C-alpha cells in the first residue's frame, strides 16, 4: 500500500497582533518598518509554547483515529522549550499515546518539519509528525513584524491516505542566511536580497526542478505549489522557473498569520489541502540550509477529512496590546507584585507519580458504581464502594464541560489579568476547578460550554522549569 | 449518640487584642495582650492552667512551628501546648481542644489562644502558599476572594437573582458591618461606608468589590475554660457555658462528585444541624440572639444565613435587604463589625467571635450592647474554599438554659 498523509491538524492561536501597533510604538526608531505595518500575525498567549501548540495540532490530527495504533510522535521546532527532556515525550503524555511509541525531537533548521515528514513517509507505520514554533524577535526588527506562532501536524502511514506521497528530493547546503546559536534568544539575519538570489532562487529553485525531473512530473501537472518562502513574489518566481502555473501557487498567509517558522510549510500544506480536490498534485517546498521538496497526489478520502476538520482560518481576535505581547515574551519587565513570588518548584517525584493525571488529564471511573472523578484517588469519592483501587483510568481531556461557577480574579497574580477560573462539570461525569484560558470579558457565564486545552500552568523561573496542565476555554463557533 | 458538650464547660475569662495593622508588635506581643486580659477576667493564677491550645493559620508568617512560641511568649508553666491549624477555623479549633480537655476531666482549667500576624507579608490579602505537591500541579492558585466569588455566580444562576439585586444585598452586608465596627474600639476598620461607595469600589474578584472583602489584620484572642463547678467555686455567678461545638470537614464530595451545585456551603449545613441538636435548638431564626459568622466576603455571610437555616434557601438576600441581620434587626449578625471590620487575623478569628458573644451575654459590650438579654449566641467559621473547606459552628449561652 502506498504511504501518504492520513490526516492533518492545525492550530493557530486566537490573538492576532496588529502590525500597526508594533510600528506605532517603534516608528521613532525604525520608520523604515512603515511598509510592513499592515495586517496581523498570530500570537500565542503567555501560557503557550511549541509543546502546547503541537498538542493542539496533534489532537486535530487524530480526530477519529485510534490512538493506540500510533507508532511514533515527533515534534519539529526551533523553539523547543527543553534542550534535555523529550519535548515530543511531553506531547505524547498530553495526547495519551501508548507508552510503546517512539518519540523524536527535530530541530536545527526551518526545514526540520519537512525533513521529518519526508522520513515518516518512507514507512507504513502510523506516525504523528508535528511542527510548532514560537520565535522571539528583537523589538523594532523586521522579524518582529513577520514572526507568527502556529502549529501543524500530519499523520502519515499507509491505508486510507488523503494524499499519496509520490516522492521527494532533499539538498543540504550550509547556507547561512540567518542563524541562532544555542541558548540565544534572537535570530541574526543577513540581507534579504542576498538570501533571495543565492538561497531561494539557486538552492530551493534547483531542488524543485530536480525533484520534478526525478519524479517525471512536469511543472504544468502541479495543481498546488506550496512554496514555503515567506517573502512576497519569491514563490511565484520559483514556480515560473519550474513551469508551474501562477495560479497554482499557494498564498503564504503572511497577512493574517505571519511567518510561523518550522511550522510554515506544514501550515501552508494543510491550508492548501483544505480546498484541494481529489486527484490533484501538490508540491511542498521548504528552505533552510538546503531544501526539501515533496510531491503528493490527493485522493477521494480528502473530502471526508476536510469536512471533519474545523475551519482553521476562522477569524482570530484583533489585538493591539503590544506591551502585553512583549511582556508575554519576556521582553518587558513588569512589576508583577509580591503575589507573583510564590515558589513554583516542581518535585520530580510527584510529577512522576501523577504523570497521567497532570499531563494526560486522566481521571478515574469507579468500576463498581460508574462514578467519574478527578483526580483519581485510592478511595473513590462515592462512598458506596469502600474498598481501595476501584478507579480505572478515565481520560477527560476531550470531553466537553459546562461552567458551574466562576470568577474573574484581579487579586491573584496572572500574566493575563484578570485570571478566570471556576468549577466545570464534564459531560458524562467528573468535575474540576480549572483555570480558563484565552477569555475575553463577557465570554463566560454559568452554563457556558468549555473544552480543555493543554497549557503552561506556571514557570519556575528560579530553576528553569515550566509546569504544564489543562485549562478550559469556551467552545466558540467553528471549534471542533 | 454522644451526650454532647452542652453545659459541661464554662468560659472563665476571655481576652482580645486590638486588631489591625499592628506595626508595633509581633505575634508574641499580640498573644500577651489578649492573654493578660483573659487571665485578669478569669481571676486565676497562670500556674493554675493545666493545658493550652494554640491556633495559627499561616505559621510561616507568624509563630513558626509547634506550641512552643505560645508557651514562651506567655511564660506558661511546663504544660502541654498543642498547636492546631485548620484554615480559618484554627481559632475555634484551639477552643475546641481546651473545651474537650476540660470536659474529659483531663484538665481543670485550659487555655485557648489564637493569633495571626498577617501584616508582615508586605501586601494586602492572604499570603499565597502551597497546598501540597499534588494540588500544586492540578489546583488553581487563585485568591480567597476568587474562590468565594464563585459562590455568587452559582447562587445567582440557581436562584435567578438579578446581578444588581445581589450586588445591592452584598453591599448592605458590608455597610452594616462597617456601621457596627465603628462602635468597636478594638476593631481594625472603624469607618462607616455608604451603599454607593460599596457598589462603586474597585473590583477584586468578580463580582466582589473591595468592600465585599474583609480586612486582613494582625490580632490575637484568648479563652480560659473550666467546669461550671470550678467556675462557681471561683466566685463566678453569671456563668457562660458552651452549648455546642461542631467542626465539619469536606471529604472531597463537593469538589469531586457531581452533586454539589456550588451555591452553598455543604459543611456549614451539616455543622449547623449537629450544633443545633447538641444545643437543643429547634428554631434557629427565633432562638438565636446573635450570630458572628465567617463573613470573609459579603456573599459568604449572605449565603451562610441560609446555610444556618436562619433564612430560607434563595431568600437570604431579601432578608439582608430587609435589615434582619442589622444591629437592631431580628437576628443581628456581626454586631462587633465581623471579619469585615473587626478584622480577620486567621488564628484569632474564631475566638474573637466567641469573645463578642461572651461580652454580649455578660452585658459588657459597651456601645454595642443589645438591649434585650441574649441567650443562644452562635459563631461560625469557614476555612478553605467553598468547594473544599472546614466549617465550624459554636454556640454559647447562659448556663442552664
pLDDT digit string, tens, across residues B209-250: 999 999 899 999 999 999 999 999 999 999 999 999 999 999
When pLDDT is averaged across residues B151-170 and rounded to a whole number, the result is: 97
The reported pLDDT for the residue numbered A1 is 63
When pLDDT is averaged across residues A250-278 and rounded to a whole number, the result is: 94
Cα torsion A29, A34, A36, A37 to 10°: value is 90
* CB contact (8 A) between residue A406 and residue B150: yes
Q: 3-state SS of chain B?
A: CCCCCCCCCEEEEEEECCCECCCCCCHHHHHHHHHHHHHHHHCCCHHHCCEEEEECCCHHHCCCCCCHHHHHHCCCCCCEEEEECECECHHHHHHHHHHHHHHHCCCCEEEEEEEECCCCCCCCCCCCCCCCHHHHHHCCCCCHHHHHHHHHHHHHHHHCCCHHHHHHHHHHHHHHHHHHHCCCCCCCCCCCCCHHHHHHCCEEECCEEHHHECCCCEEEEEEEEECHHHHHHCCCCCCEEEEEEEEEECCCHHHHCCCCCCCCCHHHHHHHHHHHHHHCCCCHHHHEEEEECCCCEHHHHHHHHHHCCCCCCCCHHHHHHCCCCCCCCCCCECCCCHHHHCCCCHHHHHHHHHHHHHHHHCCCCHHHCCCCCCCEEEEEEEEEECCEEEEEEEEEEECCC
Same domain, A371 and A274: no
Q: Name the most confidently modeled range: A301-315, A465-479, B148-162.
A: B148-162
Phi and psi, residue A431, nearest 5°: -150, 165
Same domain, A184 and A269: yes
Q: Examine the pLDDT at B1 and tell me if it is beyond 80.
A: no
Phi and psi, residue A342, nearest 5°: -55, 130
* CB contact (8 A) between residue A358 and residue B138: yes
Opening angle at CA B269, ends B268 and B275, nearest 5 = 85
pLDDT single digits (tens) B75-109: 999 999 999 999 999 999 999 999 999 999 999 99
The reported pLDDT for the residue numbered A76 is 98
| A422 touches B: beta carbon within 8 Å | yes
The reported pLDDT for the residue numbered B141 is 85
Active-site annotation holder among B16, B88, B213, B377: B88
Specify whether B344 is catalytic: yes
Q: Examine the pLDDT at A216 and tell me if it is beyond 70.
A: yes
| A433 touches B: beta carbon within 8 Å | yes
Average pLDDT of the residues of chain B:
96
Share of chain A above pLDDT 90, in %: 91
Same domain, A343 and A468: yes
* CB contact (8 A) between residue B137 and residue A346: yes
Residue A159: other Cβ atoms inside 10 A: 12
Q: In sequence order, which residues have a C-beta less than 8 Å from that of residue B208 and are 6 or more positions away?
A: A407, B145, B148, B149, B152, B170, B297, B298, B299
pLDDT single digits (tens) B174-196: 999 999 999 999 999 999 999 99
Same domain, A130 and A66: yes
pLDDT single digits (tens) A26-80: 999 999 999 999 999 999 999 999 999 999 999 999 988 899 999 999 999 999 9
Q: In sequence order, which residues have a C-beta less than 8 Å from that of residue A434 and are 6 or more positions away?
A: A401, A421, A422, A423, A424, A450, A452, A470, A471, A472, B140
Taking a contact as any Cβ pair under 8 Å apart, which residues of chain A between 220 and 239 contact chain B?
none
Minimum distance, in Å, between the CA of residue B359 and any CA atom of chain A: 36
> Cell 488523503 belongs to which residue?
A162
Same domain, A386 and A405: no
pLDDT single digits (tens) B101-130: 999 999 999 999 999 999 998 888 888 888
Give the one of B137, B142, B202 whose C-beta lies nearest to A351's C-beta. B137
The reported pLDDT for the residue numbered A480 is 42
Contact in structure between B260 and B169 (CB atoms under 8 Å): no
Our count of domains for chain A comes to: 3
pLDDT single digits (tens) A366-393: 999 999 999 999 999 987 778 889 999 9
**Does A421 reside within a domain?**
yes
Minimum distance, in Å, between the CA of residue B347 and any CA atom of chain A: 21
Same domain, A97 and A77: yes
Phi and psi, residue B143, nearest 5°: -125, 165
**Domain CATH for A288:** 3.40.47.10
Minimum distance, in Å, between the CA of residue B218 and any CA atom of chain A: 19
Q: Indicate the pLDDT class of residue A477, thresholds 50, 70 and 90.
A: low
Phi and psi, residue B64, nearest 5°: 85, -175
> Cell 542566511 belongs to which residue?
A177
Minimum distance, in Å, between the CA of residue B260 and any CA atom of chain A: 10
> Cell 499523520 belongs to which residue?
A155
Domain B142-208+238-398 in CATH 3.60.40.10: no
Give the one of B141, B156, B261 whose C-beta lies nearest to A412's C-beta. B141
The reported pLDDT for the residue numbered B124 is 86
Under CATH, which number does the domain B10-122+218-233 receive? 3.40.47.10
> Cell 461560625 belongs to which residue?
B380
When pLDDT is averaged across residues A389-411 and rounded to a whole number, the result is: 97
Minimum distance, in Å, between the CA of residue B61 and any CA atom of chain A: 14
Give the one of A347, A349, A405 whose C-beta lies nearest to B153's C-beta. A405
Query: In a mutagenesis test of the A interface, which of B127, B142, B299 is the best target, namely the one with the most A β-carbons within 10 Å?
Result: B142
When pLDDT is averaged across residues A449-476 and rounded to a whole number, the result is: 97
The reported pLDDT for the residue numbered B261 is 97
B121 to chain A: which residues are within 8 Å by CB?
Answer: 338
Minimum distance, in Å, between the CA of residue B219 and any CA atom of chain A: 22
Per domain, the residue ranges of chain B are 10-122+218-233, 142-208+238-398
> Cell 464547660 belongs to which residue?
B9
Give the one of A349, A374, A419 whose C-beta lies nearest to B142's C-beta. A419
Q: In sequence order, which residues have a C-beta less than 8 Å from that of residue A35 and are 6 or more positions away?
A: none
**Does A245 reside within a domain?**
yes
A346 to chain B: which residues are within 8 Å by CB?
Answer: 136-137
Same domain, A144 and A280: yes
Give the one of A351, A358, A404 whose C-beta lies nearest to B154's C-beta. A404
**Does A238 reside within a domain?**
yes
Structural domain including A385 reads 362-395
* CB contact (8 A) between residue B153 and residue A447: no
Same domain, A258 and A225: yes
**Does A437 reside within a domain?**
yes
Q: Indicate the pLDDT class of residue A312, thresholds 50, 70 and 90.
A: low
Question: Largest Cα–Cα distance of chain B, in whole Å?
Answer: 58
| A471 touches B: beta carbon within 8 Å | no
Same domain, A282 and A387: no
Rounded to whole angstroms, what are the CA distances from B71 to A451, B52, B78, B86? 53, 8, 8, 20
User: Distance between CA atoms of B271 and B281, rounded to whole angstroms?
Assistant: 13
The reported pLDDT for the residue numbered B125 is 86
* CB contact (8 A) between residue B157 and residue A447: yes
**Does A480 reside within a domain?**
no
Q: Examine the pLDDT at A307 and tell me if it is beyond 60.
A: yes
Q: Examine the pLDDT at B168 and tell me if it is beyond 50.
A: yes
Q: In sequence order, which residues have a C-beta less than 8 Å from that of residue A184 and are 6 or more positions away?
A: none
The reported pLDDT for the residue numbered A384 is 76
Taking a contact as any Cβ pair under 8 Å apart, which residues of chain A between 363 and 382 contact chain B?
371-375, 377, 381-382
Same domain, A269 and A417: no
B123 to chain A: which residues are within 8 Å by CB?
Answer: 337-339
| A415 touches B: beta carbon within 8 Å | no
Same domain, A350 and A296: no
Choose among A67, A264, A63, A65: nearest CA to A149. Answer: A264
Taking a contact as any Cβ pair under 8 Å apart, which residues of chain A between 309 and 348 contact chain B?
337-339, 341-344, 346-347
Cross-sheet strand order for the sheet of B51-55: B80-84, B51-55, B109-116, B219-226, B10-16, B240-249, B388-398, B376-385, B288-292
User: Distance between CA atoms of A211 and A217, rounded to whole angstroms?
Assistant: 9
The reported pLDDT for the residue numbered A305 is 85
Contact in structure between B263 and B155 (CB atoms under 8 Å): yes
Size of the A and B interface in Cβ pairs below 8 Å: 136
**Does A333 reside within a domain?**
no
Same domain, A112 and A218: yes
Contact in structure between B369 and B360 (CB atoms under 8 Å): yes
Specify whether B188 is catalytic: no
Share of chain B above pLDDT 70, in %: 99
* CB contact (8 A) between residue B205 and residue A354: no
Respond yes or no on whether the N-terminal peptide bond of residue B207 is cis (omega within 30° of 0): yes
Average pLDDT of the residues of chain A:
95
**Domain CATH for A406:** 2.40.50
Opening angle at CA B360, ends B358 and B365, nearest 5 = 110
What long-range pairs does A367-370 form, CB within 8 A, spacing at least 24?
A367/A391, A367/A392, A370/A429
Give the one of A349, A375, A409 whose C-beta lies nearest to B143's C-beta. A409
Question: Largest Cα–Cα distance of chain A, in whole Å?
Answer: 74
Query: In a mutagenesis test of the B interface, which of A366, A433, A469 is the best target, namely the one with the most B β-carbons within 10 Å?
Result: A433
- A389: buried, middle or exposed (CB in 10 Å: 19+, 13-18, 0-12)? exposed
Amino acid at each position: 500500500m502506498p504511504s501518504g498523509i492520513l490526516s492533518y491538524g492545525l492550530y493557530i492561536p486566537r490573538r492576532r497582533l496588529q502590525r500597526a501597533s508594533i510600528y506605532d510604538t517603534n516608528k521613532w526608531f525604525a520608520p523604515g518598518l512603515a511598509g510592513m505595518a499592515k495586517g496581523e500575525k498570530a500570537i500565542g498567549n503567555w501560557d503557550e509554547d511549541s509543546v502546547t501548540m503541537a498538542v493542539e495540532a496533534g489532537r486535530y490530527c487524530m480526530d477519529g483515529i485510534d490512538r493506540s495504533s500510533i507508532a511514533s510522535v515527533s515534534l519539529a521546532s526551533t523553539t523547543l522549550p527543553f534542550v534535555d527532556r523529550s519535548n515530543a515525550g511531553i506531547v505524547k503524555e498530553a495526547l495519551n499515546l501508548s507508552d510503546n511509541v517512539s518519540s523524536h525531537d527535530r530541530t536545527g533548521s526551518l526545514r526540520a518539519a519537512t525533513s521529518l515528514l519526508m522520513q515518516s513517509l518512507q514507512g507504513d507505520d502510523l506516525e504523528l509528525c508535528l511542527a510548532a514554533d514560537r520565535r522571539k524577535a528583537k523589538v523594532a526588527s523586521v522579524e518582529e513584524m513577520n514572526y507568527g506562532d502556529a502549529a501543524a501536524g500530519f499523520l502519515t502511514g499507509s491505508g486510507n491516505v488523503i494524499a499519496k506521497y509520490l516522492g521527494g528530493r532533499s539538498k543540504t547546503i550550509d547556507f547561512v542566511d540567518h542563524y541562532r546559536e544555542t541558548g540565544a534568544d534572537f535570530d541574526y539575519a543577513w540581507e534579504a536580497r542576498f538570501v533571495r538570489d543565492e538561497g531561494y532562487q539557486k538552492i530551493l529553485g534547483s531542488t524543485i526542478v530536480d525533484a520534478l525531473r526525478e519524479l517525471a512530473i512536469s511543472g504544468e501537472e502541479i495543481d498546488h505549489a506550496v512554496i514555503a518562502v515567506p517573502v512576497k513574489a519569491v514563490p511565484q518566481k520559483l514556480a515560473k522557473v519550474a513551469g508551474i502555473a501562477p495560479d497554482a501557487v499557494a498564498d503564504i498567509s503572511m497577512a493574517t498569520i505571519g511567518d510561523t517558522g518550522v511550522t510554515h510549510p506544514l501550515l501552508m500544506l494543510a491550508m492548501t489541502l483544505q480546498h484541494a480536490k481529489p486527484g490533484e498534485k501538490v508540491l511542498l517546498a521548504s528552505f533552510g540550509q538546503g531544501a526539501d521538496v515533496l510531491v503528493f497526489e490527493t485522493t477521494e478520502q480528502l473530502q471526508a477529512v476536510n469536512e471533519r476538520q474545523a475551519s482553521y482560518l476562522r477569524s482570530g481576535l484583533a489585538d493591539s496590546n503590544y506591551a502585553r505581547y512583549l511582556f508575554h515574551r519576556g521582553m518587558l519587565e513588569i512589576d508583577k507584585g509580591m503575589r507573583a513570588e510564590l515558589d513554583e518548584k516542581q518535585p520530580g517525584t510527584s510529577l512522576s507519580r501523577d504523570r497521567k493525571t497532570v499531563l494526560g488529564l486522566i481521571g478515574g471511573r469507579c468500576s463498581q458504581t460508574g462514578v467519574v472523578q478527578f483526580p483519581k484517588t485510592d478511595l473513590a469519592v462515592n462512598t458506596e464502594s469502600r474498598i481501595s483501587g476501584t478507579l480505572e483510568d478515565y481520560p477527560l481531556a476531550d470531553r466537553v464541560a459546562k461552567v458551574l461557577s466562576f470568577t474573574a480574579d484581579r487579586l491573584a497574580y496572572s500574566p493575563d489579568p484578570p485570571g478566570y477560573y471556576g468549577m466545570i462539570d464534564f459531560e458524562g461525569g467528573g468535575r474540576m476547578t480549572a483555570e480558563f484560558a484565552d477569555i475575553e470579558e463577557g465570554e463566560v457565564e454559568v452554563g457556558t460550554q468549555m473544552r480543555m486545552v493543554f497549557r503552561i500552568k506556571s514557570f519556575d523561573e528560579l530553576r528553569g522549569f515550566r509546569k504544564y496542565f489543562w485549562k478550559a476555554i469556551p467552545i466558540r463557533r467553528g471549534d471542533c | 449518640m454522644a451526650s454532647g458538650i452542652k453545659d459541661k464547660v464554662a468560659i472563665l475569662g476571655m481576652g482580645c487584642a486590638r486588631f489591625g495593622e499592628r506595626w508595633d508588635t509581633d505575634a508574641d506581643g499580640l498573644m500577651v495582650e489578649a492573654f493578660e486580659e483573659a487571665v485578669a477576667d478569669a481571676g486565676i493564677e497562670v500556674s493554675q492552667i493545666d493545658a493550652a491550645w494554640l491556633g495559627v493559620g499561616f505559621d510561616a508568617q507568624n509563630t513558626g512551628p509547634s506550641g512552643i512560641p505560645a508557651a514562651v511568649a506567655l511564660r506558661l508553666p511546663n504544660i502541654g501546648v498543642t498547636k492546631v491549624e485548620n484554615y480559618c477555623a484554627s481559632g475555634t479549633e484551639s477552643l475546641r481542644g481546651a473545651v474537650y480537655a476540660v470536659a474529659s476531666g483531663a484538665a481543670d482549667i485550659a487555655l485557648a489562644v489564637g493569633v495571626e500576624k498577617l501584616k508582615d507579608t508586605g501586601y494586602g490579602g492572604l499570603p499565597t502558599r502551597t497546598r501540597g505537591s499534588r494540588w500544586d500541579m492540578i489546583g488553581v492558585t487563585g485568591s480567597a476572594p476568587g474562590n468565594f466569588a464563585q459562590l455568587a455566580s452559582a447562587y445567582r444562576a440557581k436562584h435567578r437573582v438579578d446581578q444588581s439585586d445581589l450586588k445591592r444585598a452584598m453591599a448592605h452586608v458590608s455597610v452594616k458591618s462597617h456601621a457596627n465596627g465603628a462602635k468597636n474600639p478594638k476593631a481594625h476598620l472603624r469607618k462607616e461606608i455608604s451603599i454607593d461607595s460599596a457598589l462603586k469600589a474597585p473590583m477584586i474578584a468578580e463580582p466582589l468589590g473591595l468592600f465585599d472583602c474583609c480586612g486582613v489584620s494582625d490580632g490575637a484572642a484568648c479563652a480560659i475554660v473550666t467546669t461550671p463547678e470550678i467556675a462557681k467555686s471561683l466566685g463566678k455567678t453569671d456563668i457562660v457555658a458552651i452549648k455546642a461545638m461542631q467542626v465539619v470537614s469536606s471529604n472531597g464530595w463537593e469538589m469531586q462528585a457531581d452533586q454539589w451545585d456550588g451555591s452553598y456551603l455543604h459543611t456549614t449545613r451539616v455543622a449547623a444541624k449537629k450544633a443545633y441538636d447538641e444545643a437543643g435548638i429547634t428554631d434557629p431564626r427565633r432562638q438565636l440572639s446573635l450570630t458572628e459568622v465567617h463573613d470573609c466576603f459579603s456573599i459568604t455571610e449572605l449565603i451562610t444565613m441560609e446555610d444556618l437555616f436562619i433564612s430560607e434557601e434563595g431568600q437570604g438576600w431579601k432578608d439582608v435587604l430587609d435589615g434582619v441581620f442589622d444591629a437592631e434587626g431580628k437576628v443581628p449578625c456581626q454586631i462587633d463589625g465581623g471579619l469585615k471590620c473587626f478584622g480577620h487575623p486567621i488564628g484569632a478569628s474564631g475566638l474573637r467571635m466567641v469573645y463578642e458573644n461572651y461580652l454580649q451575654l455578660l452585658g459588657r459590650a459597651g456601645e454595642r450592647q443589645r438591649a434585650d438579654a441574649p441567650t443562644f449566641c452562635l459563631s461560625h467559621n469557614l476555612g478553605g474554599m467553598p468547594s473544599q473547606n472546614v466549617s465550624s459552628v459554636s454556640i454559647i449561652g447562659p448556663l442552664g438554659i
